[in-house]
Structure 1
Amino acid sequence: MKVRADCAPCLLRRALFQARLAGNGTESAAMAAALKAYAAGFSPDACSAELATEAHSAAYAEMGVADPYRAMKEEADRVAARYVPAAADFIDSSDDRFAAAVRVSIIGNIMDFGSGIAIDSPDRFGEMFQSLLDQGVGSDQTPELEKAVKASGTVLYAFDNCGEDEFDRLLMREMRSDGKRVVGIVRGAPILNDVTREDALRIGLDRDMDGILDTGGFCIGFSERLMPPELRKEMASAGVMIAKGMANYESLSEMDLPLPVAHLLRAKCIPVASSLDVPVGTNVVRMAHLRAPHL
């Protein structure tokens, strides 16, 4: 996705939020670094995810803290875990288990801290759980996704936020119970409140996967420059990738990929909602078609 003017204040709110999480008095330095990097790369042709990566990289360097969201990520997983039994009951009582599991996986995408477009504390999730579940999927290509999954031997699953991952495991279990090999993809380094390998292992997420890979380094979503050979190999042979959240959408939508991608997300901001042609606040399942034979 190309950067929009609306992306700038969102990025800067988050840069300030995480500098305050660091708690070491680096707010001004981190903001100055983020502003400089963002201004240097801002143009209508820039990818929003790549530009955000540059700005956050500069801000993190000034903060001197590798994972300012660590405590918040752990709390998000604890809060989300309380609602997993209710989410599992919702799937068990549904006439369409796959569609119900997809719906459950999307509701955790509200755990997007510090942007000003979602929630800023894991504690707020409980207030919204049932209403998010009741909302359903507003732009829904779940039947197309299910068809792609059924035709696949291997499904790649790209995670987004901590907390959200507790609901992702329910969808992965559904696919594995149908004989699918599911390989998870986490961030290659701590960035925002996204799932890293350490986060996945901490909550035992690896037990619900057949393998785990990472994006290769510090990046918002995916970076072609950083992508490890093992990930490229899996992309070339898998049947479909499920990509959670806006960061994965913003980055992957700019790439030519060797497999179809299903974007599961909540359109929490005007630029993403506009790109997907849905109202802000819509839960989305959107299939991106195969565009290239190589990566």
Structure 2
Amino acid sequence: MNMEFNFKCLLCNIEQVDKVSRHINAPECAKEPVIRDVLKHLADIDFKMKNPEIMSGTWRIITDGLGESDPYKSEKQRFNSDMLQIYGLLKSRLSKGEEGFFEALRLSAVGNIIDFGANHYFDKEMCYEKICNLCSEDIFAIDHSRRLYEKLKVSKQLLVIGDNCGEIVLDKLLIERIRSEFSDIKIYFSVRGKAVLNDVTSDDALQVGMGDLAIIIDDGTEAPGTVLAQASDEFRRIFDESDLVIAKGQGNYEGLSDIKRDGLFFVLMAKCPVISDYIGVPNMKCVCVENNS
């Protein structure tokens, strides 16, 4: 399942310049040198690198050049707040017993639609509709959720690798359900070391109260996806020691799909043709897939 670099990813890197520039209302005169620097960066990359590694450099050029270290900070806080407003409602709708786990897992997967780096359209109302309506539906185009559940029964340590703002509230709902059924399991929740796109950081985890359920760690990077070669020693240790890893989102799939180990599951919505074609599912479909399959 190794996710190799695709040349179409170059376009996404370039488009981030325009997205961020428009978002912060940067003048054209500020955007031009940033585009030139990004093009120079992309001209020199090793095409064996994973896209999160490449995007890490692109993002640094954009934020340094435009003078905004966290251009989506207020939007991340708003999406977290919006999702927290329906957290109690969603929690009350979950079934009792193990079926509640599968419902919470589906909600966590659907929450992956909140992605400022992808090219699909979404807004708060769309998120609400999808999240509220799909809890009880069979949404996974590839569904290894039963395997995940059975492995939770025998796991002593779980690492959940977070992805995006807003989505983290639904991850919290899932972790809460896991903790209620498997009270002895030690749970870590990882975030990015620095702000990148709308990926979660420790600020997001604190805002939604994730620390009440899991030990929060950061991976020590500003890549929009887990790249073990760049990650901190602490993160790699916890990754290796954990019996089970749930990696959320496309960036973590891109960064970790070549890792061969037991108990590594990807939960995401395939939001671009490159990833959906590679996994073998229609675009905008969710998967819960074990990596050694």
TM-score where L is the length of structure 1: 0.89
Whether contact under 8 Å (1:111, 1:118) holds in the other structure is no
Residue 6 of structure 2 aligns with which residue?
A: 4
- Cα pair distance change 1:147/1:94, threshold 3 Å: closer
Distance 2:258 2:32 in 1: 32
Equivalent residue number for residue 66 of structure 2: 63
1:239 maps to a residue whose letter is D
The answer to whether the Cα contact below 8 Å between 1:235 and 1:259 also exists between their aligned partners in 2 is no
CA distance in 2, matches of 1:250, 1:219: 11
1:191 to 196, 201, 207: 196
Of 22, 25, 30, the residue aligned with 2:24 is 22
Decide whether the 8 Å contact of 2:107 with 2:131 is kept in 1.
no
Partners of 2:15 and 2:125 lie apart in 1 by 20
Structure 1 stretch displaced more, 190-199 or 53-62:
53-62
1-side partners of 2:64 and 2:288: how far apart?
35
For residues 225 and 84 of structure 2, what CA distance do their matches in structure 1 show? Answer: 24
Cα deviations by residue, 1:101-159 (Å, 9 ceiling, x for unpaired): 1111111100012532242x445423433444446222110011112221111100100
Quick one: which of 43, 53, 65 aligns to 1:39?
A: 43
Q: Which one of the candidate residues 243, 255, 258 is aligned to 1:239? A: 243
1:56/1:175 CA distance change after superposition, 3 Å: same
**Greater mean alpha carbon deviation, residues 188-197 or residues 122-131:** 122-131
For 2:117 and 2:50, locate their aligned partners in 1 and report how far apart those are by CA, in whole Å: 21
Residues 155-164 or 214-223, more deviating? 214-223
Quote how far apart the aligned CAs of 1:205 are: 1.6
1:62 & 1:87 partners in 2: Cα distance? 41
Alignment-derived partner of residue 72 in structure 1: 75
1:293 aligns with none
Q: Cα offset for 1:194? A: 0.6
Alpha-carbon separation, structure 2, partners of 1:99 and 1:214? 27
Question: Which whole-Å CA distance do the structure 2 matches of 1:9 and 1:85 have between them?
Answer: 39
- Structure 1: distance between partners of 2:129 and 2:37: 36
Q: What is residue 143 of structure 1 aligned with on the other side?
A: 146
Once the two structures are superposed, residues 161-205 of structure 1 have per-residue CA deviations (whole angstroms, 9 ceiling, x without a partner) of: 000001001110111121121111000000000110112112222
AA aligned opposite 2:199? D
State the one-letter code of the partner of 1:201.
L
Q: List runs of 5+ in structure 1 lacking aligned partners.
A: 291-295
Letter in 1 for 2:20: Q
Q: Distance in 1 between matches of 2:121 and 2:144?
A: 23
Kindly provide the amino acid, as one letter, of the partner of residue 10 in structure 1: C
Pairwise CA distance, 1:30:
2.8
Segments of 4+ moved more than 4 angstroms:
none
Identity within the alignment, %? 26
Q: Report the Cα distance in structure 1 between the residues aligned to 2:143 and 2:91, rounded to whole angstroms.
A: 21
Question: Whole-Å Cα distance in 2 between the matches of residues 46 and 268 of structure 1?
Answer: 21
Alignment partners' CA distance in 2, 1:15 and 1:96? 43
Whole-angstrom distance in 2 between the partners of 1:42 and 1:7: 13
Shift of 1:42: 6.1
Measure, in 2, the Cα distance between the counterparts of 1:17 and 1:123.
Answer: 21
**Cα distance change of structure 1 residues 227 and 35 upon mapping to structure 2, 3 Å threshold:** same
- 8 Å CA contact 1:37–1:55 kept in 2: the answer is yes
Partner-residue secondary structure (3-state), 1:264: strand
User: 1:254, CA displacement in angstroms?
Assistant: 3.3
Deviation at 1:91, TM superposition (A): 1.8
The CA distance in 2 between the partners of 1:97 and 1:123, in whole Å, is 24
Can you list the C-alpha shifts for 1:70-124, whole angstroms capped at 9, x where unaligned? 01101111221233233223323686122111111111100012532242x4454
| 2:266–2:288 CA contact under 8 A, matched in 1 | yes
- The alignment of Structure 1 onto Structure 2 pairs a total of residues equal to 286
Distance 1:261 1:125 in 2: 27
Query: Where does residue 262 of structure 1 map in the other structure?
Result: 265
1:82 is the counterpart of 2:113? no
